A and B are shown apart, each in its own frame.
Chain A
Amino acid sequence: EDQVTQSPEALRLQEGESSSLNCSYTVSGLRGLFWYRQDPGKGPEFLFTLYSAGEEKEKERLKATLTKKESFLHITAPKPEDSATYLCAVQPGNQFYFGTGTSLTVIP
């Protein structure tokens, strides 16, 4: 059965303290892995697409990487405005399967 697991569920960081979020997946025939950011009361905002193992994408303080079994979202020197829930999704076919997210809080 296709499955997406994100860890940790919640993460508190001091401003400037770098860390990584994990997304593990078991799907047959991955067409794409997607990272989103969701703020309270808003819809998910698209961040990155990764298609194949070894691929990396960067945007400001965020860098996403992909292996055959998991993806990491690395956050370098985070700021309070990076506080949000980060969602991972995989697309094996028509559907997109989402993890339950990592709630990130960055303390000034």
Chain B
Amino acid sequence: NAGVMQNPRHLVRRRGQEARLRCSPMKGHSHVYWYRQLPEEGLKFMVYLQKENIIDESGMPKERFSAEFPKEGPSILRIQQVVRGDSAAYFCASSPPSEFGSPLHFGNGTRLTVT
């Protein structure tokens, strides 16, 4: 499967625990975006990364949230001390290392439930 792979598909955490969401981009893609989606709402941009660099994190809360895309391995979105309001679907998307105008290709998301 050459598509964007996200895991886990479903994640349940209790309030105060940590959530780690993983994303492996499509082969040949070096740009990764993370989005959050709530029911009846659109996709909200969180962060844009290239290998070993955070390019734009303007959509990510400054506290408890962090993201990385190391030289080797998947991109990770980390949420510390989760709260009920963090429950949502988190989508990762990737694009090739080309100029602007290339579409994003999405994974099937991780659905986080905080109890």
Beta-carbon contact of A95 and B48 below 8 Å: yes
Beta-carbon contact of B103 and A98 below 8 Å: no
Beta-carbon contact of B56 and A94 below 8 Å: yes
Beta-carbon contact of A32 and B101 below 8 Å: yes
In the assembled complex, which residues on chain A have CB atoms less than 8 Å from the CB atom of B109? Answer: 42-43
Query: In the complex, which range does the number of interface residues on chain B fall in?
Result: 20 to 34
Asked if A55 CB lies within 8 Å of chain B CBs, one says no
The one of A44, A49, A93 that contacts B43, using a Cβ cutoff of 8 Å: A44
Main secondary structure of the interface of A (DSSP, over half): loop
In the assembled complex, which residues on chain A have CB atoms less than 8 Å from the CB atom of B55? Answer: 94
The one of A42, A46, A51, A95 that contacts B45, using a Cβ cutoff of 8 Å: A95
Beta-carbon contact of B56 and A96 below 8 Å: no
| Cα–Cα, bound, A100→B106 (Å) | 16
Asked if A101 CB lies within 8 Å of chain B CBs, one says yes
Find the A residue at minimum CB distance from B59. A95
* Chain A positions near chain B (C-beta within 8 angstroms): 31-32, 34, 36, 41-46, 49, 51, 87, 89, 91, 93-101
